[in-house]
Structures are given as C-alpha cells and as structure tokens.
Amino acid sequence: MGRIDLVLATDIGMDPDDFIALNICLSNPLVDLRAVLVDPGTPDQVGLVTAILRYHGRLDIPIGVPGRTAADRETVDGWSYVTDDHLAALAALDLVVAHPARTAPSVAVLDSALSNWPSLTLVAIGPLGSVREWLDGGHGIIGRACVMGGYMHPSHGSGEYNFDADIEGATSLIDTARVARKVIVPANVTRTFRSTRALYERTLTAGQASAGHRMIGRMLDVDDSLVENQLLHDPLTVCTAIDEDILPLVEVHAFRGPDGWNAARAAGTGTFSSPGDSGGVNRARFEELFLMHARE
Ligand SMILES: [Ca+2]
C-alpha cells in the first residue's frame, strides 16, 4: 500500500474527533499531509491547528480558510470553537493555542497542493465551505474525495451526512464532475462507531513513540466519557481514505430528497458509500491504521 498525499478539510474544535483525525494524518506513515483547510476558520481554530503542527514539527504545512466577504470574516473572527477539552489536552503537553496564526484562502491552498500533488486525496470531515469555494473558483480535478457522513444531532436534520451545515457545499460536491471518485462514509455507519478502553490503552502505548498518539491520548484522558464512548467518525473517514476496504462500499447515486440526504445503488456514478448498513466496518483494520506510526 503506497503513501497518499492528503488534504484535510476540517471543522476542528467543539468535538475532539477532528483533533484526533488531524493527529492521525500527521502520524500515520501511509499519509503525507499536504494542507489543512479549516471551516469556518476562526482564529482559535487556526491557532489550534498551528499548535498541533508545531508539536509535530510541521509548520511547513499550509492552512487554508474560506475567503468569504469582509463582513463574513468579521463575524467568523468573533466565534470560538476551541473547547476546554482542547485547551486541557494542549496544556498537558505544555502547549497553548497559537496567536496570531497564519492562513491563506482555501482555494489558493488547494490549487497549490493540486499543482504539486495532482493525485491527492481530499478528506472532508466538516462542512464543505472550502470545497464549495474551490469548486466555484479553483482549477483542475481532484482525483478522490473521502467525505465524512454525518454527526447525528437534531440541528443536522436527517443526519444522513455531515452536509446539513452547508447544504450548498454538499450539493456542489455531490453534483460536481471535478472530483473523479467520491467516497462517502455515511451516518448509518459513523453514528455507532466509538472509542473503547482497549483502543485508549493501545493509544497510550503508541504514544511512547509517536507525537500524534501522545496528543490523542491527552485528549482522550481529559474526560472518561471520551475514553469509552467518543464518536470516531472523523478518524474513520481518514482511515477509509488510507484503506477503502475498511468499509463495504457500493457504487451509489447520492442525492438530497424530501427527507434529507439519501443514496441508492447505481453503477457508473463514481460515488461510493455504504447505504442502509449500520455494520460491516472492519474494526481490526481501522485500529491497525489508527495506531500505525513511524517511530520518532
Ligand atoms: Ca468534524
């Protein structure tokens, strides 16, 4: 299995799973992380990503945020996404959220990554604001996108995908011909996929040799509920990008129907998902990839 060039589009902050997923991207020897796109791109989100990149010695990795209008930017700059759990995990490693943090427009960051690594995989584990802007104003074709499929929450409507936070962005991604292969890890799979104490203990062991697993361990031991019951939908999506055989994928036509997002089996669409199946995740392979690291 070869290494993949990966761009991570994340809404890091709030839940800890994006924090975990970013650390997997930075630790797994099968991944070369080429850029991070942050949605909506608040200063504290970017500061958190910067702190994580610094810990890994990877400040060379560019950070993109949606361009937005000046008025939008001002609104977003007033929001905070980073929680006490994130601050506690950083503090346990003598780190703080970095300010001021450097960014560039997501479209420019993604265009630049594509010109350097044309076969890159885009992994989207948050709303698709950056992706929508790239589809409107960027260049070229993305070979493959792996998209996280939904956090179950009343405000997310049907919760079939993580798409309800930016329906326009999600529709653009589903409909575009500028992403050759789309893999959707849907809510019916992600909503039951959670951390276990055994995985936590193996993460702590891996953390003796891996910066990423040290960070993940500090995040999980902030709160006992994270150790045993944290949703792992974002890490599952990253690991699916590394090895699609983790999921029983079938080719589908994805669409937004009257009851929300849906998918039906169809050949020739280039879109793959696991509709109507709550099981079937290869957990052993997921854990193998979750824990994989190059010794420092
Ligand atoms: Ca997320």
Q: How many angstroms does the Cα of residue 12 sit away from the middle of ligand 1?
A: 6
pLDDT at 287 over 60: yes
For residue 79, report the distance from its CA to the centre of ligand 1, in Å.
17
Higher pLDDT, 38 or 225: 38
The per-residue pLDDT for range 180-229, each reduced to its tens digit, is 999 998 887 887 788 999 999 999 999 999 999 999 999 999 988 899 98
Tell me, in angstroms, the distance from the centre of ligand 1 to residue 245's CA: 22
Would you state the pLDDT for residue 98? 84
- DSSP letter assigned to residue 47: H
Q: What element of type H or E holds 124?
A: strand 121-124
pLDDT at position 214: 97
Reported as a single tens digit per residue, the pLDDT across 52-101 is: 999 999 999 999 999 877 778 888 888 899 999 999 999 999 999 987 77
- Between the CA of 39 and the centroid of ligand 1 the distance, in Å, is 9
| Cα 19 to averaged position of ligand 1 atoms, centre (Å) | 9
Mean pLDDT of 265-294: 88
Q: What is the Rg, in whole angstroms, of the alpha carbon atoms belonging to the chain?
A: 18
Kindly report, residue by residue over 116-165, the tens digit of the pLDDT. 999 999 999 999 999 999 999 999 999 999 998 755 444 444 655 677 88
Provide the whole-model pTM. 0.94
Residue 296 Cα to ligand 1 midpoint, Å, equals 28
Which amino acid is it at 71? A
Q: Which fold has domain 4-291?
A: Inosine-uridine Nucleoside N-ribohydrolase; Chain A (3.90.245)
17-35 pLDDT, tens digit each: 999 999 999 999 999 999 9
pLDDT of residue 156: 46
Instruction: Judge whether residue 278 has pLDDT over 80.
Output: no
pLDDT at residue 276 in the model: 64
Predicted local confidence at residue 155, as pLDDT: 47
Q: In the predicted model, what is the mean pLDDT of residues 98-106?
A: 83
Cα 211 to averaged position of ligand 1 atoms, centre (Å): 21
E-strand spans in the chain?
A: 4-10, 31-38, 63-65, 104-105, 121-124, 142-149, 179-186, 250-257, 260-265, 271-273
What is the whole-number distance in angstroms between the Cα of residue 275 and the centre of ligand 1?
20
What separation in Å is there between the alpha carbon of 174 and the centre of ligand 1? 18
- How many A from CA of 10 to the centre of ligand 1? 6
Q: How far is CA 144 from the centre of its chain?
A: 14
Q: Is the pLDDT of residue 13 over 80?
A: yes
Distance 231 CA to ligand 1 centre (A): 10
* C-alpha 217 – ligand 1 centre gap (Å): 18
**Gap from CA of 84 to ligand 1 centroid (Å):** 17
Evaluate if residue 109 carries a pLDDT over 50.
yes
Q: 126 CA distance to ligand 1 centroid (A)?
A: 4
CA of 270 to the centre of ligand 1 (A): 24
pLDDT of the residue at 92: 96
